[in-house]
Amino acid sequence: MDINPKLFLKRVDYSYGGAGVLKDVSFAVDSGQFVAILGPSGCGKSTLLHIIAGILPCPEAELLVDGDAAERHHFAYMPQDDLLLPWRTVLQNACLFADIQGTYKKEAWQKAEALLEPCGLAGAGDLYPSQLSGGMRQRAAFLRTFLCQADILLLDEPFGALDALTRGRMQEWLVSLRTALERTILLVTHDIDEAILLADRILILRGTPASIVADLPVATPTAERDRAWLLSQVQLKQQVYELLS
């Protein structure tokens, strides 16, 4: 862990309707890391992401980006539903944040056009959401999130609404795109295999109220994905399963 991490989060306590949801959640994330927050459904994973994004207030918590108080512009949030505007094309949806901010619109449009092919959307720039498959819609939503220019991407189960085959393809697509992203990423998921496939680290969130019960490194795959690496993945999956049981 860096001495000055990209994201530093300390003492997140959150209650809703008198019931505790999160208790003393603290962790740090280095620049460029991909961290999965894994836990059972309803344990407060999305709530935690909403607090980080500034959607939910949590004034007692300490939240720093690059050592300074975090601001909303530091984060780009992608929910499970793609939330594409049906009257806008793929490119128009991708450039939504530039339109809202009223700055760098031409630059955002050019960058979006250049990223259509890497994002699996070649030739789809002028299509509307109703003309896209579920996987293409999620790619378009991811492109919009990426073009927000925020340092940290917050992904809230972005593939959870897709069928198993499309979800697998999207996961592999994100793995292939990681090097080009050069962003710090937090992913909320309840899928153990997804967390192991995508992340550098896995934070296990569980309990009532929920807290971080484990911080597990994920081994970087070898070029040959040799026996030792495969065994480490099997052991990690078993460890995660036991922590969630």
Least confident of 73-77, 138-142, 179-183, 185-189: 179-183
Cβ contact 45:188 at 8 Å = yes
* Residue 203: pLDDT over 90: yes
Reported as a pLDDT band with limits 50, 70 and 90, residue 26 is very high
pTM, whole model, 2 decimals?
A: 0.88
**Bridge partners of residue 105, in order along the sequence:** none
* Residue 238: pLDDT over 60: yes
Least confident of 31-40, 51-60, 86-95, 223-232: 223-232
The confidence score (pLDDT) of residue 2 equals: 54
* Residue 1: pLDDT over 60: no
3-state secondary structure 3-58: CCCCEEEEEEEEEECCEEEEEEEEEEECCCCEEEEECCCCCCHHHHHHHHHCCCCC
pLDDT digits (tens, 9 = 90+) for 157-198: 888 777 888 788 888 888 877 777 788 999 999 899 999 989
Largest CA distance in the chain: 52
Domains of the chain: 7-83+150-244 (3.40.50.300)
Average pLDDT of the chain is 87
The confidence score (pLDDT) of residue 222 equals: 63
* Residue 10: pLDDT over 70: yes
